[in-house]
Each structure stands twice: as C-alpha cells, then as structure tokens.
Amino acid sequence: MLELITETLRNLFKKSATYKFPLEDRPASPDYRGKQVVDIQKCIGCRLCAFDCPAYAIEMVPNPSGKPKEYPVVDFGKCVFCYQCVRVCPVNAYVTSGTYRLAAFDKEKLINDVLKTSVSDSSEEGG
Amino acid sequence: MSNSEYLEIPIGPQHPALHEPLLFRVKVEGERIVQITPSTGYNHRGIEKLCENNTFLKDVFLAGRVCGICNVVHTTCYSEGVEKVGNIEVPSRAKYLRTLLNELERIHSHMLALAVLGELIGFHTLFMLMMRDRELVLALKEMVAGNRVQADYVMPGGVRRDLTPEKLDRVKKSLDRIEERMKYYAKIFEKDSIVNSRLRRVGVLEKAEVSTYGFVGPIARGSGVKTDVRYEDPYAAYGEIPFSVITRDEGDSWARTMVRVGETFEAINMVRYVADHLPEGPFGPKTMIRKVQAGEAISRVEAQRGQLIYYIVSKGGDKPYRLKIRTPSFNNILSSGVLFKDANIADLPAILASLDPCISCMERMLIIEKDGHVESKSVYDLVR
Amino acid sequence: MPALEKVRESLGSLVSSVQEVSPRRLVAEAESKDLKPIFRRLLEDFKQDFYLDFLAVVDYPDEKQVEAGYNLWFYSLKTILTVKFRLPRDNPAIDTISDLIPSAVFHEQEAYDLMGVVFSGNPNLKRGFFVAEEAQGSFPLRKEANQA
C-alpha cells in the first residue's frame, strides 16, 4: 500500500503523459505507414498495384498525355495502408510519407488523382 | 424450486464492464449466481467465406484483421499454414524476426489484460499507470512494423521489413525500462491485500475439468496443466530459444493473473535473446507466392489467449478452397459457464477479466442463438 | 513411432486406416456409424489425456459429400489426431458426442448453422443470425452460396 502512495506523489511532479492533440501537432515516427502517392514520372502502367490491392482501392485510369498509358488512382476511403502497392511496384514509383490526418467532409475528395487535385492534409485546412 | 423463481439479469451487450459486445444471461438467487449462459453473434463478419473468394496473397491481410490485439499471431499462423501446404522454405532471419514481433505483441497484450483486470475490480490507478507504460511497447511496434496496432508484418515466405542494428539497440534500451516497471506491477499483484482478497479463491477450475471442457492457454496453465504450443510443437524460431513454461496449481483468478505476469517476463527475455542472436540473410521471399500446390495442412501457434489453429485446404489454384479458423476465445468463453459456480454477482467482472476474452476473435465465425427463456438442458446447467 | 502405435492399438478395427502425414499429425478415416464407439474407446484408453480441439466441415460438391473432421490433441503423446467422416451431401447427419464430451455442443452448433450437418441428440441446434429471414434454407459455407 505504501509503495502506491509514494508512486502517486512522484507522479504529481512529472510531466503529463498525454499530448494536447489537436492543439499541438503530433507527428508520426519516420517508419509509420501513412499516405502513399505515385510518382507519375516513374510509373510504367504495369497494373500490378491494382491487381494486388486487398481492398480493391486502386483503379487504373487512362493518361491523356500518353506516357504511361495508364496510371493508378488511389481511393483513400477504401485504402487500409497495408503498403502492398509500395512493395510490389517493380520501379519503386510510390512515395511514402507519415501523413495520417486525411479526414474530409466529402467522400469524393478522398479519391486521390495526382494529375487533377491531390488529397490534402486535413490539418492544413484547419480541420 | 422452479426456474421462474430466479431473477434473470442481462449483462450486455452494451455494458461498461465489457469492451466488446457479448450478452450474458445470468440467473441469480440473491447475490449468488445460479446459471449463466453467454450469447454472441454481435460482431460476426463472415471472414471464412470471404477468404475463399480472394487470392492467397490478399488473404494474409484479411487474416490480420480478424482481431486487433492478436493480429500478429493470426498472420503468423496463416503464413505457417500456407508454407506447410506449399512446402515453402523460410529464411532463418525471417523466423527470428517473426519471433521478435510475436513476443512484443505478447507483452503489450498481457499488459492490457492486467490493466483491464485492475479496472474491473475498481483499481483505476493501476489501469492508468499500466496503460502509460504500455505506450513504450506500442512505440517499439511502430518502429519495427510501421503501425502501433495493425502490424501487417508477416507474409507467406518471410517478413516485409528489415531491422537495422540501431533499431535493435533502441529495442533493448526500451526493454530495460519496461522490465523495471513490470517488476513494480508484479509486486502489486502478488502482495497487495485488496487485489488478493478480490482474486484469490474466485472462479476455481479443477485440473480434471480442463480437458473435459477444452480450455487452452493461461487458463489451463493456471490450473496445473503444462501445455504450450511453443514448447510442444515449436514453430518459427522457438525451437532455438531457451524459455520456460509458467504454470500454477491453485486454479483461481489469482493464479491465472500470475501466469500472465510470469509470461511477460519470459517474453522480455526472449526479445533480448533474439536481438543478440539475429542471423544474417534475406528477410523475405524472392518472389511473391501466387500459386500453391494442392494439399491440406494444420498450423498451430500460441496466441496470447491460448492455442490458435488454422486449417487450410488448397486445390492447386491461387485461391484457398477452405480456410477454417479456431481461435482460443471460442473454447474459453463458451465453456466458461463452469467457472461461475457459487460465485457472487460482484465476482463476475473479476472472473471474466481473468479469462481475457477477445470477442472479435471468437465471433468471426460463430453464433449461439438465444431462446426466450433458458432451459435446463443446456451444458451450463448449474442449478442445484 | 510410439504415438502411431498407441493410437492404432487403441482404435483397432474401428477405423479403416491410421497414417502419419507429417510430424506430430495423424489422420484416421472411419464410418459415421462408428463415431460413438470410437470416442468411448478413446475415453477409456486415454481418459483425461486429450481434448477436442476443433471440428472442421468441408464441402465437396463434385464428390457429393461433406467431410467432417474431428481433431483431438493428446497432451502426453504431443500429436494431433484427425478422425475424418464422409457424409452424403443431400442429407448429412451424424450422432452427437456432447454427452461424452461437453465442450462439443458449440462446435457442433457452428457446423450445423454454417454447413447444415445435423447432429442428432444435440440440445442446442438452431438456425439464427447468419442467414437473413428471407434466405433461410441456405447454408453459408456451401459452395453454391457463392452465387447468392
């Protein structure tokens, strides 16, 4: 019993164990599996990422400028961030990051087409 | 005394004492429990059927999403099953890395079980302190696998990421701090008078009943039966790592709790051993496994709550023909009616927390239908 | 192998064959009428040394059969024994063992609700939550349910 009282008193003078999120920002560690974006200069249109996605979240869309013929469009509403697309790509065309604040008010905004708009970090919008 | 004179209380499916939906219909006489019947099916998701429609490679992600706390053991068991059916070799470094992550998950899951036990007997300070120290383990998992909870680390043929020597040093330094805190908590569970009076001689399970009712895991080891898959049927790198199996003879909730505390210390030592003896070599398969030859296999691993079994049948294509999952909570929770003999209503949370239920695991494939009133033909018939 | 010999000696002619298919795993095949005699013999010879691990049902529509496999783990022999029974697909019925082994009640209940195998004598067999009211009469794990 006595040890618990000394432990409690000691904890009064330590710094708090919780982060004041969202008032302060809490970055993820560099190894975290966050939003992944395709680099269209490297993509060759092989379709392996769309074929292997377990959540059926990647769709191949025709490219108006011709090179590559098709490129992947990721729907972050369905993505489970397993990174199978990153691993299976033969030219390492996916750029990984630690972004995890991806919430939006509209489901259409979650579909990330790199040639049109890009899904922005929701902390930038003040959300 | 007929059945209708007992008062029937439903506990659940939404209840502050339960972390997941589960319905217990409890018949009481005053404060004493006369009969208890669990009823489930609130979390069912149809995973076994879904796995038949997806390829072997995609199924490893489905298997990892059966349960949040035990996702590493589910992916390990599935990968072992596919490797047995397809006769696939796993490199030695991958086996050791799998062991490392499995034991890290065991540490954080047992800390969660002990913290929840503390909360359910009313000891909120212990719950808060253990959850704060459990964050150290979750930070280690994030560094090794990429996510604090859902690791997605193991795949058929190996693992998906490698570890550098700097990361191994950080693992070892964190483990020293975790062990120091665990020694403090072990002292509380062993010696504190209030914790002891709530847990000792409550929910006693005899040694002979373990095999009749099919209990597995720390529940069986807390009643004196020495059974552990890592010791009897070694998988991954467990055949090469020295460790001991913790058993206790008392059979009550306190014995089960002390088994979990002992296993946490063993897990810390095993992670240290792996970090010191990691062999060189490749960490993953050369090519992704797309087709598996025909055959069937059973793979067993020791999850945190007991023994987990996957039974895989393949007909030589790229999709499994049948995938059967039997989780430890299936055996433990549904037979648990026998533990509540002559207990008070106030003991129900203490006994339930010492069983460490994982309802998501249990429900990916099962159902027990409830009638309007309980009949005395049920296996949980405890009416005197 | 001592485990194989002990099981063969105990079961004798009640099963048609016992083989060791991989380390620590034995497979035996038997007729469905011999279910209760097999378990009575195992309980006499091994008493508390084993428990019912799981009950797996697999649908083989091409062979018009449903296979039920009872898996038992033996503590001292450290092996798992699978006893397989083939049942006709249009009427899969077999005895219950829940009077000999109480924990079998819910294993059999799951097999009934998902595949439609009837265990005569089981007190708890009911249909329920999986299949919606309109679609009662189909079993989710059978292969034809893929088209539903």
Q: Which CATH class is domain B47-329?
A: mainly alpha
Q: What pLDDT is attached to residue A121? A: 54
Interface contact B188-A84, CB threshold 8 A: no
Domain containing C72 — which CATH number?
Answer: 3.30.460.80
Q: d(Cα A53, Cα A49) in Å, to the nearest integer?
A: 6
Q: What pLDDT is attached to residue A114? A: 84
Q: Identify the CA nearest to B260 among candidates B309, B305, B300.
A: B305
Q: Does B250 touch chain C (CB under 8 A)?
A: no
Q: What residues of B are in contact with residue C78 (Cβ under 8 Å)?
A: 232-233
Q: Would you give per-residue pLDDT tens digits along chain B (384 residues)?
A: 445 577 888 777 777 666 667 777 777 777 777 777 766 656 667 788 888 889 999 999 999 988 888 899 999 999 999 999 999 999 999 999 999 999 999 999 999 999 988 888 888 888 999 999 999 999 999 999 989 999 999 999 999 999 999 999 999 999 999 999 999 999 999 988 888 888 888 888 888 888 888 899 999 999 999 999 999 889 988 999 999 999 999 888 999 999 999 999 999 999 999 999 999 999 999 888 899 999 999 999 999 999 999 999 999 889 999 999 888 888 888 787 788 777 777 777 788 788 887 766 655 433 232 333 332 222 222 221
For residue A61, the distance in angstroms to the closest alpha carbon of chain B comes to 22
Q: d(Cα B342, Cα B258) in Å, to the nearest integer?
A: 23
Q: What residues of B are in contact with residue C75 (Cβ under 8 Å)?
A: 211, 225, 227
Q: Are C55 and C69 in contact (CB under 8 A)?
A: yes
**pTM for this predicted structure:** 0.89
Q: d(Cα B73, Cα B101) in Å, to the nearest integer?
A: 9
Neighbours of chain B (3+ CB pairs under 8 A): A, C
* Helix ranges (DSSP H) in B121-156: 124-145
Please report whether residue C113 resides in a domain: yes
- Residue to substitute from B215, B326, B378, interface C, most C β-carbons within 10 A: B326
Q: Identify the CA nearest to C53 among candidates C14, C79, C21, C22.
A: C79
> A88 or C113, which is more confident?
A88
Q: Are C139 and C114 in contact (CB under 8 A)?
A: yes
Q: What pLDDT is attached to residue B358? A: 72
3-state DSSP assignment of residue A24 = coil
Q: What is the CATH number of domain A26-100?
A: 3.30.70.3270
Interface contact C78-B46, CB threshold 8 A: no
Touching pair A, B by Cβ (3+ pairs < 8 Å): yes
Contacts of B323 (CB under 8 A, 6+ apart): B48, B51, B52, B59, B310, B311, B312, B313
Q: What is the CATH number of domain B3-42+330-363?
A: 3.30.390
ipTM: 0.90
User: Cα Rg for chain B, rounded, in angstroms?
Assistant: 21
B337: nearest CA in chain C?
Answer: C103
Q: Does A52 touch chain B (CB under 8 A)?
A: yes
Domain of C14 in residue numbering reads as 2-132
Interface contact B147-A83, CB threshold 8 A: no
Q: What residues of B are in contact with residue C117 (Cβ under 8 Å)?
A: none
Q: d(Cα B189, Cα B199) in Å, to the nearest integer?
A: 10
Q: What residues of B are in contact with residue C129 (Cβ under 8 Å)?
A: 41, 44, 367, 369
Q: Are A55 and A78 in contact (CB under 8 A)?
A: yes
Those residues of chain C that have pLDDT short of 70 are: 1, 126-138, 145-148
Domain with CATH 3.30.390 in chain B: 3-42+330-363
Burial C103-123 (b: 16+ CB within 10 A, else e): bbbbbbbbbbbbbbbbbeebe
Number of domains composing chain C: 1
- Residue to substitute from B216, B225, B369, interface C, most C β-carbons within 10 A: B369
A5: nearest CA in chain B?
Answer: B125
Q: d(Cα B337, Cα B174) in Å, to the nearest integer?
A: 40
